[in-house]
Amino acid sequence: MLRRRDFNWTLLALASRGFVAPVQAAPSAPAQRILVLGDSLSAEYGLARGSGWVALLQKQVAQEKPGFEVINASISGDTTSGGRSRLPALLKRHQPSLVVIELGGNDALRGLPMAMTQGNLLDMTKQAQAAGAKVLLLGMQMPPNYGPDMARQFEAAYTQVAKSQKAALVPFFLKGVGDDPEPLKWFQADRIHPNEAAQPRMLANVWPTLKKQLK
């Protein structure tokens, strides 16, 4: 058995002959996660894989905030009720530092009660914050054929939830797309889902506010 001083001399001898003990790299810190909880607008409905705004967000994050990764938990057709039921398991599994909530459009299209939509948005925001995550709400607007009163109430639902919970808010996720004087150039044939050309605009609406939350 080598004594300590003999061991030191043995190391020196090995090193002089080109034998160097391997140095283990320090473990890197795990990436912080951004969880996107959305519907078809975020699930690349009708788009080539990797061309949606969330995929573009992943590339943006990799360039500017390499300590973060994006988890897309969006499902086409989802409502705020669906998101509310799915969120607890997603929070437990991914432990995100930021939750982006992009839901509510399908609630409006289906004529679901406004109070229910706002209640679900509020509950999801509280769930995420209780799990230690920041929240970014992506506001939506109702089509004009629903009437100005309904449109104001729907838009206010996002504002009220964000204000009451001190969450971040993008007032209108589809700004420059859904309110463009020539909207058909930004939408697929169904006139509901944004096309590939619209995706960079959608990301541009989100990124400035989202970036501020990544600290």
The predicted-structure confidence for 7-63, as pLDDT tens digits, reads as follows 344 433 433 444 444 445 444 556 899 999 999 999 999 999 999 999 999 999 999
User: Around Cβ 189, how many Cβ atoms within 10 Å?
Assistant: 9
| pLDDT confidence of residue 24 | 52
| pLDDT confidence of residue 1 | 47
Give start and end residues of each alpha helix (H) in 79-147.
80-94, 105-109, 114-130
Percent pLDDT > 70 in the chain is 86
**Annotated catalytic, 94?**
no
Average pLDDT of the chain to the nearest whole number: 88
| pLDDT confidence of residue 55 | 98
Strand order in the sheet with 68-72: 68-72, 32-38, 98-102, 134-138, 168-170
Cα 67 versus chain centre, distance? 15
| Sign of the alpha-carbon dihedral angle for 69, 75, 76, 81 | negative
- Catalytic residue among 39, 40, 42, 78, which? 40
**Annotated catalytic, 40?**
yes
| pLDDT confidence of residue 29 | 59
pTM: 0.86
Which letter does DSSP use for residue 141 in this model?
-
Burial of 136 (0-12, 13-18, 19+ CB in 10 A): buried
- Catalytic residue among 74, 78, 97, 193, which? 193
Of 73-87, 133-147, 163-177, the poorest mean pLDDT is in: 133-147
Percent pLDDT > 90 in the chain is 77
- For the chain, the structural domain boundaries read 30-213
- Catalytic residue among 16, 28, 149, 190, which? 190
Q: Which residue has the tokens 């990764």?
A: 69
User: Around Cβ 133, how many Cβ atoms within 10 Å?
Assistant: 23
Residue type, 77: G
DSSP H or E run through 37: strand 32-38
Calculate the alpha carbon distances from 31 to 66, 78, 128 in Å: 8, 27, 18
**Annotated catalytic, 123?**
no
| pLDDT confidence of residue 31 | 83
User: Around Cβ 4, how many Cβ atoms within 10 Å?
Assistant: 6
Q: What is the pLDDT confidence band of residue 211, given thresholds at 50, 70 and 90?
A: very high
Taking the C-alpha atoms of residue 68 and residue 83, their distance in angstroms, rounded to an integer, is 23
| pLDDT confidence of residue 125 | 98
Residue type, 180: D
The tens digit of pLDDT for each residue in 157-200 reads 999 999 999 999 999 999 999 888 887 899 999 989 999 999 99
In the chain, the largest separation of any two C-alpha atoms, in whole Å, equals 88
Interacting residues of 179 by C-beta distance below 8 A, sequence separation 6+: 141, 172
Domain 30-213, second-level architecture:
3-Layer(aba) Sandwich (3.40)
Higher pLDDT, 108 or 10: 108
**Cβ 168 vs Cβ 162: under 8 Å:** yes
| pLDDT confidence of residue 28 | 55
